[in-house]
Structure 1
Amino acid sequence: MSNPQVRPQAEEEPALIEAAREAANEVLEAATEVERYIEKGTPQFMRTSLALFSGGFATFALLYCIQPMMPVLSKAFSISAAESSLALSVATAMLALGLLVTGPISDAIGRKPVMVVSLLAAALFTLGSAVMPTWHGVLLMRALVGLSLSGLAAVAMTYLSEEIHPQHIGLSMGLYIGGNAIGGMSGRLISGVLVDFISWHAALAVLGGLALVAGLVFWRVLPESKHFRPAPLKPATLLNGYRLHFRDAGLPWLFLIGFLLMGSFVTLFNYIGYRLLAEPYHMSQAVVGVLSVVYLSGIYSSAWVGSLADKLGRRKVLWAVILLMLGGLLLTLFEPIPLMLAGLLLFTFGFFGAHSVASSWIGRRALRAKGQASSLYLFSYYVGSSLAGTLGGVFWHYYGWNGIGLFIGSLLVVAVLVSLHLARLPALPGNTLAQAAH
């Protein structure tokens, strides 16, 4: 006769074994999920870095190739410096507006498709701007370029924050922003030199062709998303996401940092060409274009400062690199060329370093709707470009370079104060990624 105590125990054992197996599977799945992140030194990391570098290159080359042409456009269309700056301001304004839409679209349909279409469309619209016979036609094409580029600008940071291992996000973000720096430098350098020898129409056509090549490289090389989870595109969800981010103690201040940084940077480079073409320098357009090599300091600083922030913490680094921008600005107020060049180098180094820190901080501070958080940061960033870049023309018209220095200096002082406030904020409770922001 069987023992009645044994049967229930025998029946329980398979259930316990199955429960243990399921628990083990969950642990393995969690470990596999971590392994799926792209880590430094792997082929996927190299492919991602190359693709995002190419994307950042094309984005900033197309956006800012018009900047050294502004004095040429002023003469060609008989317009003022402030009016000429609209060729950049309308592009950045439309880019800012597009960011509010393209980020959520990427949340619904995927990161890579949005970025690829963005790059290719922007290149085609740049080719279109090269054949426009009127100023209004140029502005229309530039607006479409900005709107198209919003797709990559809104999504690139989100893609990196989803796919790259958390320990290497600062470095990967720095490499992407380094591509931005090379693109900005190359766009300004190529167009600035070319317009001394060929028409501005032909110069834009060259940049559009180069951007097409970069877009195709991006398409072929970028790995498909592994951590992307589609979310339905619902207006109510979007509004809830925006409310969530603006209620956060840190994110709105980071959005303001983006506004102030980009407003300062674009204003300086919008009008430095006018200063160097006039007395006492009388530089040629080609020489002014060559000065874009100061972007090399930004290429280095974006990756180096990003890695430094991973080690020391963002709150300890951000205010310091903004102070470097302020120091560089002060040097540009002096007349000797060596001091002015040193100021441009220091200012550019500080800007790209600060942008690298702030943009990576967004991805770590936002716990949900990361795409929207990145979009809001970049929206503020490019609104700063549009508003400050054109308003700076008023200061230039009435007060010359000293007026530009006063205007930019005021923006940077506010940025330093905001960064010091961010440094005092406590990390988000229970968020291990937020601990890295210390």
Structure 2
Amino acid sequence: MHDHAPSRLVSGTPEFRRLNRALFAAGFSTFAILYCVQPLLPEFSREFEVSAAVSSLSLSVSTGLLAVAMLIAGSLSEVWGRKPVMVASLLASALLTILSAAAPNWTSLLLSRMLIGITLSGLPAVAMAYVSEEVDPKSIGLAMGLFIGGNAVGGMAGRVISGVLTDLGSWRLAVGLIGTIGLASALAAWRSLPASAHFRPRRADPADLLRSFAEHLRDPGLRGLFAEAFLLMGGFVTLYNYLGYRLTEPPYSLSQTAIGAIFAAYLVGTFSSAWIGALAGQLGRRRVLWAMIAIMLAGVALTLFSHLALILAGIVAVTFGFFGAHSIASSWVGNRALGAKAQASALYLFCYYLGSSAIGTLGGVFWTKGGWPGVAGLVTVLLAGALAVALWLFMLPPRTTEQAQAKS
């Protein structure tokens, strides 16, 4: 009995449900901590007397450092194991978030947000690799969709809690509470996440790790998926970053609570990531990816109207398309990479957060110079590029382990 490798987790079993609960909680907290500052950007501009682009650094420094640190965290998890890296990451990030709520000035707030970017890096790429190792291939689409759903709910809850508590008390109260929720999630992940049964540690050999990065970058399909991550996330985060500025101004003059509530559109993302992830498993990823990006483009066009209902419909469409596309592309990376899957996931997420960081701040310049049409124009160009890449991926032949073995 003990000679056999343990079986992988299959949907419908108690272990699979436990794994999903723990991963959902971990994804929830990671994204609540990362994005709780997004609706607070106009608030930071007022309290610390900084411009929209400078205020957006409170998010961009976190996502930028997260992008770089994830390349290292993914590699460390190949040596130390998946679960220890994930739990330590959540715990450190939660404690830093509680500290950031007491930041006396803009510089110290930015410094704490930089450190949060580094500590959070241990979760996203490692979780993707953990799922691809521990879960039965037929259940991976669902497990990954639910993890990304947790990300979506966390991103939404972080923003909604921030908006409401900022109106009721202060942004410091909001950020402190989100840090406390993070502590609870770290405890839940430590207690509930099954220990790795299929993980094989590797030696800490930097040359070996660099070789596996180079191997991934040689595959045109993976390069295309990495480009998608950059373009889609860059466009998505830019839209949400400057929406708050647009809607706090006349004729809308919305409160922080109302702007936070708009992030409830993320619930659509939770639904679409799981549903589209499963649908792509049936119809084929290449057939569904481009359609998601087309939905995002239609949504951006709707935000150009001045009627609030049309703007909100546009945001919902962009959110639906984005989470569907991200769910497809991220699971495609794990499927297409032939080995060192944590590194492949880390490269995908490096590009994803690099897009968030670079384009998210660049959008501030477009907002200052061109208002909302400037922001929407920038996002349209990015999504048009993403659509072109998706159509190119559609025509690319699949890459299978058998093909790779035949060639070698």
Whether these two folds match at TM > 0.5 is: yes
- TM-score normalized by the length of structure 1: 0.90
2:187 paired residue among 193, 207, 216? 216
Say yes or no: does 1:275 pair with 2:221.
no
2:380 paired residue among 394, 397, 409? 409
Q: Could you say which residue in structure 1 is the equivalent of 2:66? A: 95
Separation in 1, partners of 2:87, 2:301: 40
Q: Could you say which residue in structure 2 is the equivalent of 1:329? A: 300
1:174 paired residue among 114, 137, 145? 145
Separation in 1, partners of 2:178, 2:316: 24
2:165 paired residue among 189, 194, 213? 194
1:50-65 pair list within 5 angstroms: 50-65=21-36
Q: Shift in Å at residue 249 of structure 1?
A: 2.1
Separation in 2, partners of 1:41, 1:213: 26
What do residues 377-435 of structure 1 show as CA deviations (whole Å, max 9, x unaligned)? Answer: 000000000000000000000100000110000000000000111111111244499xx
Q: Could you say which residue in structure 2 is the equivalent of 1:16? A: none
Q: Could you say which residue in structure 2 is the equivalent of 1:252? A: 223
Three-state SS of the structure 2 residue aligned to 1:196 is: helix
| Higher mean displacement: 298-307 or 335-344 | 335-344
Three-state SS of the structure 2 residue aligned to 1:38 is: coil
RMSD: 1.4
Say yes or no: does 1:384 pair with 2:372.
no
Q: Could you say which residue in structure 2 is the equivalent of 1:132? A: 103
Q: Could you say which residue in structure 1 is the equivalent of 2:277? A: 306
Q: Could you say which residue in structure 2 is the equivalent of 1:371? A: 342
Q: Could you say which residue in structure 1 is the equivalent of 2:329? A: 358
Separation in 2, partners of 1:334, 1:141: 38
Q: Could you say which residue in structure 1 is the equivalent of 2:15? A: 44
Percent identity between matched residues is 54
Code of the aligned partner of 2:286: R
Separation in 2, partners of 1:137, 1:103: 28
Q: Could you say which residue in structure 2 is the equivalent of 1:8? A: none
Code of the aligned partner of 1:418: V
How many residue pairs were aligned? Answer: 404
Separation in 2, partners of 1:99, 1:284: 35
Runs of 4+ in 1 over 2 A off after TM superposition: 429-433
2:52 paired residue among 81, 99, 109? 81
Three-state SS of the structure 1 residue aligned to 2:169 is: coil
Say yes or no: does 1:142 pair with 2:117.
no
Separation in 1, partners of 2:303, 2:187: 39
Separation in 1, partners of 2:138, 2:396: 22
What do residues 138-166 of structure 1 show as CA deviations (whole Å, max 9, x unaligned)? Answer: 00100111111100012010000001111
Three-state SS of the structure 2 residue aligned to 1:368 is: coil
Q: Could you say which residue in structure 2 is the equivalent of 1:13? A: none
What do residues 92-150 of structure 1 show as CA deviations (whole Å, max 9, x unaligned)? Answer: 01101111110010000100000000001000000110111010100010011111110
What do residues 341-386 of structure 1 show as CA deviations (whole Å, max 9, x unaligned)? Answer: 1111111011111000000000000011111100000000000000
**Which ranges of structure 1 fall in alignment gaps of 5 or more residues?**
1-24, 434-438
Question: Does structure 1 retain, via aligned residues, the 8 Å contact 2:230–2:352?
Answer: yes
- TM-score normalized by the length of structure 2: 0.97
Q: Shift in Å at residue 269 of structure 1?
A: 0.6
Separation in 1, partners of 2:115, 2:280: 35
Three-state SS of the structure 2 residue aligned to 1:409 is: helix
Say yes or no: does 1:346 pair with 2:320.
no
Q: Could you say which residue in structure 1 is the equivalent of 2:123? A: 152
Question: Does structure 1 retain, via aligned residues, the 8 Å contact 2:338–2:401?
Answer: no
| Higher mean displacement: 131-140 or 422-431 | 422-431
| Higher mean displacement: 165-174 or 79-88 | 165-174
What do residues 155-200 of structure 1 show as CA deviations (whole Å, max 9, x unaligned)? Answer: 0100000011111111111000000000000000000111112121
Q: Shift in Å at residue 327 of structure 1?
A: 0.9
1:107 paired residue among 78, 82, 87? 78
Three-state SS of the structure 1 residue aligned to 2:121 is: helix
Question: Does structure 1 retain, via aligned residues, the 8 Å contact 2:336–2:400?
Answer: no
Separation in 1, partners of 2:398, 2:239: 34
Code of the aligned partner of 1:108: V
Change (3 A) 1:93 1:181: same
Say yes or no: does 1:117 pair with 2:88.
yes
Code of the aligned partner of 1:126: T
1:287-306 pair list within 5 angstroms: 287-306=258-277
**Which ranges of structure 2 fall in alignment gaps of 5 or more residues?**
none
Code of the aligned partner of 2:100: S
Three-state SS of the structure 2 residue aligned to 1:379 is: helix
Separation in 2, partners of 1:350, 1:431: 33
Say yes or no: does 1:317 pair with 2:288.
yes
Change (3 A) 1:381 1:46: same
What do residues 250-285 of structure 1 show as CA deviations (whole Å, max 9, x unaligned)? Answer: 111111100111101110110000000002111111
Q: Could you say which residue in structure 1 is the equivalent of 2:197? A: 226
- Mark the structure with the bigger radius of gyration: 1
1:413-424 pair list within 5 angstroms: 413-424=384-395
